[in-house]
Amino acid sequence: MSKKYKLKRLLVRRYQILAAILFILAAGLVLLPKYKKNEGIAPDLFVKNIISSERYISTDLLADRLVNQDPTVLLIDTRSEKEFNDYALPNAVNIPLKDLLNENFDGYINQDVYDVILYSNENFYADQAWIISNRLGYQNLYVLKGGLNEWFNTIINPKMPEETEPKEAFDLYSFRKAAGMYFGVGIVKSEVKKEIKKKKPTRKVITVKKKKKRVPEGGC
């Protein structure tokens, strides 16, 4: 009897109770402790990403992919424009580090079609560019290990292995030499008879769709 009575009394006040719930929820929003939101990924994930060396691609691997005309490679030069104009890897696109977040370049670094390979003279600037992009959660980005210096030391001007070294070293050496020639800059020794292909660093013509701003679509 008393139980039924209690329920009845509760039901009489049902709207008050519902209003109270709404009120509590709204007040909860005000009272909940505020915290600052992250832009991009969370720090713990970020640490995991930056200590991993998965992002590095070796010069030999890159050379191999370029020689085979791998269509999924997109090279990005993070050096200054001047340096880029002096010399750049074939088909590279110049995005100076300071313009990395320029929205015109967003289409290059925030995409899922190409393997984007960042390089600079060393891999310091390229690495910084990679880290910033990683923070924003961009995928498919790599860094050329050692940068252009390493590229020159291994591909353009490879060191002759010692005679005592295993056969693999010689294979690698011959590959590097061939690749170096492919890129048109083999340090030509007299015995070279092969025709040297010259590859101008043609710039990729890439049309990037302009970022769509919130266009006020005329309402109704």
- Among 8, 39, 162, 166, the residue binding other proteins under the rule CB under 8 A is 39
Positions in 55-84 near other proteins (CB under 8 A): 71, 74, 79, 83
- Only one of the segments 33-41, 60-68, 159-167, 171-179 lies at the binding site for other proteins (rule: CB under 8 A); that segment is 33-41
Q: For other proteins, how many residues bind (rule: CB under 8 A)? A: 99
Query: How many CA atoms lie within 13 Å of 38's alpha carbon, on the beta-carbon side?
Result: 10
Q: State the CB neighbour count (10 A cutoff) for residue 74.
A: 21
In angstroms, what is the minimal distance from the CB of 92 to other proteins? Answer: 12
Quick one: tokens of 168?
């693999």
Q: Which is nearer to other proteins, 21 or 171 (CB)?
A: 21
Helix/strand/coil for 73 = strand
Q: Site residues for other proteins, window 168-197 (CB under 8 A)? A: 184-188, 190, 192, 195-197
| Cβ at position 55, least distance to other proteins in Å | 10
The residue from 7, 58, 64, 87 that contacts other proteins (CB under 8 A) is 87
Q: Beta partners for 119?
A: 77
Report the length, in residues, of the chain.
220
What number of other Cβ atoms are within 10 A of residue 129's Cβ? 25
**Binds other proteins by CB under 8 A, chosen from 60, 67, 110, 161:** 110
Q: How far is the CB of 35 from other proteins (least distance, A)?
A: 6
> In angstroms, what is the minimal distance from the CB of 152 to other proteins?
6
| 28 interacts with other proteins by CB under 8 A | yes
Question: For 164, phi and psi rounded to 5 degrees?
Answer: -80, -10
- Which residue, 113, 79, 96, is CA-closest to 206? 113
Cα 60 from Cα 64, distance rounded (Å):
6
Among 57, 141, 148, 155, binds other proteins (CB under 8 A): 148
Please pick, from the candidates 27, 81, 160, 165, the single residue that binds other proteins as defined by CB under 8 A: 27
- Please tell me whether residue 120 binds other proteins under the rule CB under 8 A: yes
The sheet with strand 56-57 has its strands ordered as: 56-57, 141-144, 115-119, 73-77, 93-94
